[in-house]
Structure 1
Amino acid sequence: MKKVFISHSSKDKDFFVRPLVDNLKKSLGEDRLVYDELTFESGAKIIEEIRQTIDMTDLFVILLSENSLSSEWVKQEILWAKNLDSNFLDEQRIMPVIIDDITKDNQEIPEWLKKYNLRNVKSPSKLSRMIFSRVTEISWKNSEFLKKKTNLFVGRNSEMESFESRINDFTIEKTNFIIASGMSTVGRRSFLKRALNKTGIVRESYSPPIIVLDGHQSIEDFIKELSNVSDLDVDIDLMSSTLDKKIDLAFDLLRVLNTDLKDKLFIDDQGAIVTHTGELAYWFKQIVEKFNSSDYVDISTCIMSKYKPHFIYSLKNMFHLHIDVLSPSDRNKLLFQYSNLNDLILDKPELAAISQLFSGFPEEIFYTIDVIKENSKEYFYKNTHIISDYSDNKIQSIISGFNYTDNDNKVLKILSKFNFINLESLSKILEYASIPEKINDIEKYMRHGMVNKIGVDGEYITLNLAAKNYYERQIHLEKQLSNALDRFVGYIDINGSNLDIADEMFVMQEKLRLGKEVPLAKLIPSYYLKTMKNLYDNRKNSAVIKLADSILHSSDVLDSYIRDEIRFFLCSSLARLKDERFKDEVQSISGYKHNFLFGFYYRQIGRFDLAIERFNKVLEENRTYSQAKRELVLLYNKIGEYDKAYLMAKDNYENNRNNPYHIQAYFQSVLYQREDSQPLLEKKRILGTLLSDFEKIDSPSARNMFLICKAKYNMEIEKDYSQVQSTLDQASKEFPEDNTYILLFQVDFFERTKDLRQLEKVLELMKNSNFNRKNSNYYNDFLKCQIYINAMKNNEIEWKENLSKLTLSDSAKSTINERAEKLMNK
């Protein structure tokens, strides 16, 4: 059993120590705490007993304060604890924390303690969560391996030279902000930590506080997360305060972190600060300019950005460098170092041969060595394709390569619901889900690169971006998990004074999603926006509109980017509902997104020609806008222009092979390619790969698409109609309520099998689903069904009249005409 010793002054008991111990008793249990009122009889301090207890301690927590530094007992305990420091050189078994207003450079703090990351934590509940995380990590058998892996660093000579030149250039007045852009797995954080150390800005053991912000967050989230790592209270209403007031507050909080707490802030930015267009968020630009006008000359903040920033040259105190993939020589060095760390002996020819397979991402190298260690060299040499497979489908490769179980996937699904989460809360949710033992597998997910640590002391964990996208796409949650999350929401006191920020973010969004009452004082715009996205993904359009209307009345105090995102979801939901109000609301959105939304609206009401026109205008303005490409592929497939859809669908699929909608669109365009442009064998190979990709995605929508695509394959390629019917029966059984895909396919299948009775049944079901309305997305499919029925009944005038109403390409109309002619009993 892991023991935690709490070293403290008796004068700090009432205001800090007892509340801390009360929290730890709930999370760790009384038996795991070494605290005088719990451990030593009548609180009497027996020297030999205390010394023996310290020797058996797994984590020694020192509560540093003016009182404790003047306490002879605490001084003695610190001296005894020094043995722990020498006994566990590679392990962080000592956790010194400042709990009052003394500073890190206080002369009473022993020099050997100052090498630790001294943190100011004035909240007993927050420190309780940090201790819980540290104790959990100590119990992991590979915790030291993970630390050494994190500290691996090779090469980057040109980038390091640029960094040093900037920092050491006396002609530049100051550098307060560093942006390291590049893909999330390329090593931006490792580079920044090494660069700060190499230039003497921080010591090697320093671990910066890290926060994470995504593209649906803004200045309010920045303030909340900054106040959390600084352990400072924010007493303004973030919903009603002006943007200028919030900028002033954010600046003040960051200055306190830098000057009073002597920390450098690291931000894992996924689109909040440097947006997807490369623009710097207005509010953050104002903070940078405030620093430029201030007397602070040191580095304040390092940003790991997903996107390259544009037009930042006017910001003299900001420096940007791009971190690219590793050079071939650096790949060799990292492969050698990581194989040694794993005690894996590879000779020079082996290292050279393996290194040739890499494209330059550190994670490829880690994955390769982990696979060899998990299996064998022989296994790897027979399956070198796993490296290219990993590059194409990272998350699926990890899941299959390391034999993740259903329970592993459940844990990762839970994590995908949170921006970040503390281990204490995760442990509670896993307990509710009846899989409490999985808390010990977090280290496995860290080793495989699925999970990262953030926060002041790494007390929070977050899924990496690729894993989050993968699991978020699986909208369906097992009852076991949804019940566990519901219990967790009920367990959290949303009005509590010691509420954790990660718990607040999740619970507030869940309550908004369910239409429950929430404390207005805690609301911020991103809670609305993230909830709207969740509701929109679940097609709850009326709820999206209601939330948007409630937040947009505060639009004058919102960051413009967040305001535009909220309006985008509002307009998209109105378009889905074919609501005329759309035409008024869309006027507030300019640029290519204005055309995109009109294209989306026209698709919803069945005006495919106008929709295509609008989406092509979007690509004229922004040729990389993937949503417009996806819409065009869908429309071209819908009207039978498969040649136009093909290249775009292929491009979308190759950029994201885990997206079931991209797989479906590419499948459709390949399936109907003419044989002179796509030979049958090649077509079969591609379609087989796409069906296999579908099966790897654990979500109901992907499963539904897979079954229909499998039925299409058997009908068009194999001509096996009994297998088609079997697959349709399976789809109807699994998805009795969601039958749109089934109905659309049945029109073609029952035409092919000349089954009039079944076609008439399909027609009735289509009427019940309002497919017979001219503004329906599926009006062409309804007309096609009528055409085939009338053709089978020899009603030539009727089916030709319906043919003239189709808004399809000439080639698609011609195909339907030929099929109808063949159905006539002449």
Structure 2
Amino acid sequence: MGKIFLSHSSKDKDRIGQIANALGPDVVIYDELSFDDGQAIVDEIENGLDNSDMFVLFISDASLNSTWVNRELAAAQTRFRDNVLRFLPIIIDQKVNYTDPRIPDWVRETYILRYNGSLKKIIRLIKQKRIERSWQLFPHLRQKDRLFVGRNAIIDNIESKLYHVTDKRPNTIIASGIKRIGRKSTVIHTLRKNGYIGETYSPNIITLDRHSNIDNLLLALSDIGICENIITPKDLLCSIPEKIQTTATLLSLIAEAKEIIVIEDSGCIISPENEIADWFVKLSELTHPINQILNIITTPYRLHQTSINHLPILYFHIPELEREGLCPEFS
């Protein structure tokens, strides 16, 4: 499979360099990582495009005014425009929107163009598109990547709760069980199977332990980068109720961005005594209006169902897999 060509202005190099390093030199065509010293720039660009299977256009005021970016874009039009999985335009400048006349009509009319200021989200988006492209080239990989065996009764239970319109619609799913038993994968498989998330979507993952508290959750949510400049040192010095409100606001913004948070919890939210933290109960009450799956929490500790009956939380325990839960070809 070919590489990913990162088309950008040199004025945006600091941000694009971070993206290139995160994706890896074996994956991207990026001048500092890919172009050889002493080679003609035009030749390097042509070689890079010829060796690429995807073209990512980072749209900014600087890139739209860049002669080199416009040359790359013109060359990309003939190579990549006929396959939406091979061309990915991303606006990284808040001063630019999809109506900008400098953006070619074929880009504006074919693709949804929105501002994306989160480097982590951009990296995940590129990885998702690369997976989709690999499935297009090698269909057997899709079946292999999406193979899921067993847990049929648990999946049926989750689906019934999600579709039971008379129940309170949960926005948090808690799965307990020993590590590597399939807590996260069972939930994610169910959400994919029922269209809540895309086949290649990868949730944001946060890790909390028994030494963590709401401060750690607040900082971790902020570090995801979906919402910019929302957490300040002052937010960590305020009272617990104020921190809960700030966290609820942040989760609402994350929900608006259609993102899901996976919290790998080892004693922070669900204690070894099988109790849910008071601050998380209050947080759940504040986020009750969020009518979509927002949080997936995995924990080794079982939870008392009665403690969450009034909350928008779906809880289940995943036992060790038994043979009768396997598909026939695996039993």
Is 2:87 the partner of 1:80? no
Match of 1:339 in 2: none
Q: How many Å apart are 1:200 and its aligned residue?
A: 2.0
CA-to-partner distance for each residue in 1:743-800, whole Å, 9 max, x for gaps? xxxxxxxxxxxxxxxxxxxxxxxxxxxxxxxxxxxxxxxxxxxxxxxxxxxxxxxxxx
Q: How many Å apart are 1:320 and its aligned residue?
A: 0.8
Higher helix share: 1
Is 2:247 the partner of 1:263? no
CA contact (8 A) 2:150 2:327 kept: no
Match of 1:5 in 2: 5
Q: How many Å apart are 1:19 and its aligned residue?
A: 4.8
Instruction: Name the CA shift for 1:109/1:120 in 2 (closer, same or farther; >3 Å).
Output: farther
Match of 1:309 in 2: 303
- Aligned CA-pair RMSD: 4.6
Partners of 1:174 and 1:103 lie apart in 2 by 35
Paired AA for residue 6 in structure 1: L
Paired AA for residue 292 in structure 2: D
Is 2:147 the partner of 1:152? yes
Q: How many Å apart are 1:190 and its aligned residue?
A: 1.4
Match of 1:297 in 2: 291
Q: How many Å apart are 1:194 and its aligned residue?
A: 1.5
CA contact (8 A) 2:55 2:87 kept: yes
Match of 2:193 in 1: 198
CA contact (8 A) 1:182 1:324 kept: yes
Partners of 1:202 and 1:27 lie apart in 2 by 23
Partners of 1:323 and 1:109 lie apart in 2 by 47
Match of 1:188 in 2: 183
Q: Percent identity?
A: 27
**Does the residue aligned with 1:312 lie in a helix, a strand or coil?**
helix
Paired AA for residue 80 in structure 1: R
Instruction: Name the CA shift for 1:204/1:28 in 2 (closer, same or farther; >3 Å).
Output: closer
Higher strand share: 2
Match of 1:288 in 2: 284
TM-score (norm 1): 0.31
CA contact (8 A) 1:265 1:301 kept: yes
Paired AA for residue 274 in structure 1: I
CA-to-partner distance for each residue in 1:662-712, whole Å, 9 max, x for gaps? xxxxxxxxxxxxxxxxxxxxxxxxxxxxxxxxxxxxxxxxxxxxxxxxxxx
Paired AA for residue 252 in structure 2: R
Partners of 2:192 and 2:89 lie apart in 1 by 22
Is 2:245 the partner of 1:248? yes
Is 2:160 the partner of 1:165? yes
Give unmatched runs, 5+ long, in structure 2. Answer: 99-106, 132-137
Q: How many Å apart are 1:81 and its aligned residue?
A: 4.1
Instruction: Name the CA shift for 1:269/1:58 in 2 (closer, same or farther; >3 Å).
Output: farther
CA-to-partner distance for each residue in 1:236-284, whole Å, 9 max, x for gaps? 345522112211121111111110x211111111221111111111222
CA contact (8 A) 1:278 1:307 kept: yes
Instruction: Name the CA shift for 1:99/1:164 in 2 (closer, same or farther; >3 Å).
Output: same
Partners of 2:251 and 2:117 lie apart in 1 by 16
**Does the residue aligned with 1:178 lie in a helix, a strand or coil?**
strand
Match of 2:268 in 1: 272
Q: How many Å apart are 1:222 and its aligned residue?
A: 0.8
**Does the residue aligned with 2:307 lie in a helix, a strand or coil?**
coil
CA-to-partner distance for each residue in 1:355-376, whole Å, 9 max, x for gaps? 6xxxxxxxxxxxxxxxxxxxxx
Q: How many Å apart are 1:150 and its aligned residue?
A: 5.6
Give the one of 80, 88, 92 matched to 1:99: 92
Structure whose CA Rg is larger: 1
Partners of 1:194 and 1:320 lie apart in 2 by 16
TM-score (norm 2): 0.71
CA-to-partner distance for each residue in 1:400-441, whole Å, 9 max, x for gaps? xxxxxxxxxxxxxxxxxxxxxxxxxxxxxxxxxxxxxxxxxx
Q: How many Å apart are 1:328 and its aligned residue?
A: 0.9
Instruction: Name the CA shift for 1:174/1:79 in 2 (closer, same or farther; >3 Å).
Output: farther
CA contact (8 A) 1:230 1:257 kept: no
Partners of 1:282 and 1:60 lie apart in 2 by 48
Instruction: Name the CA shift for 1:203/1:26 in 2 (closer, same or farther; >3 Å).
Output: closer
Give the one of 217, 237, 247 matched to 2:212: 217
CA-to-partner distance for each residue in 1:195-229, whole Å, 9 max, x for gaps? 11222212222221121212211111111111111
Q: How many Å apart are 1:309 and its aligned residue?
A: 1.6
CA contact (8 A) 2:118 2:225 kept: no
CA contact (8 A) 1:180 1:305 kept: yes
Match of 1:385 in 2: none
Q: How many Å apart are 1:55 and its aligned residue?
A: 2.6
CA-to-partner distance for each residue in 1:701-745, whole Å, 9 max, x for gaps? xxxxxxxxxxxxxxxxxxxxxxxxxxxxxxxxxxxxxxxxxxxxx
**Does the residue aligned with 2:308 lie in a helix, a strand or coil?**
coil
Instruction: Name the CA shift for 1:183/1:100 in 2 (closer, same or farther; >3 Å).
Output: farther
Instruction: Name the CA shift for 1:202/1:22 in 2 (closer, same or farther; >3 Å).
Output: closer
Q: How many Å apart are 1:169 and its aligned residue?
A: 1.2
Give unmatched runs, 5+ long, in structure 1. Answer: 87-92, 139-143, 337-354, 356-826
Partners of 1:27 and 1:165 lie apart in 2 by 39
Paired AA for residue 320 in structure 2: V
Query: For this pair of structures, how many residues does the alignment match?
Result: 301
Partners of 1:79 and 1:166 lie apart in 2 by 49
CA contact (8 A) 1:288 1:315 kept: no
Instruction: Name the CA shift for 1:49/1:109 in 2 (closer, same or farther; >3 Å).
Output: farther
Partners of 1:315 and 1:165 lie apart in 2 by 18
**Does the residue aligned with 2:233 lie in a helix, a strand or coil?**
coil
Partners of 1:67 and 1:187 lie apart in 2 by 46
Paired AA for residue 297 in structure 1: N
CA-to-partner distance for each residue in 1:12-55, whole Å, 9 max, x for gaps? x43x33453389689978xx75349x95999x985x86454223
Alignment of 1:565-576 (within 5 A): none
CA contact (8 A) 1:84 1:94 kept: yes
Instruction: Name the CA shift for 1:267/1:150 in 2 (closer, same or farther; >3 Å).
Output: farther
CA contact (8 A) 1:120 1:230 kept: no
Greater relative contact order (Cα 8 A, min sep 6): structure 1 or 2? 2
Instruction: Name the CA shift for 1:83/1:228 in 2 (closer, same or farther; >3 Å).
Output: farther
CA contact (8 A) 1:97 1:121 kept: no
Q: How many Å apart are 1:79 and its aligned residue?
A: 6.2
**Does the residue aligned with 2:263 lie in a helix, a strand or coil?**
strand
Partners of 1:83 and 1:281 lie apart in 2 by 52
Instruction: Name the CA shift for 1:19/1:218 in 2 (closer, same or farther; >3 Å).
Output: same
Instruction: Name the CA shift for 1:244/1:202 in 2 (closer, same or farther; >3 Å).
Output: same
Partners of 2:14 and 2:175 lie apart in 1 by 43
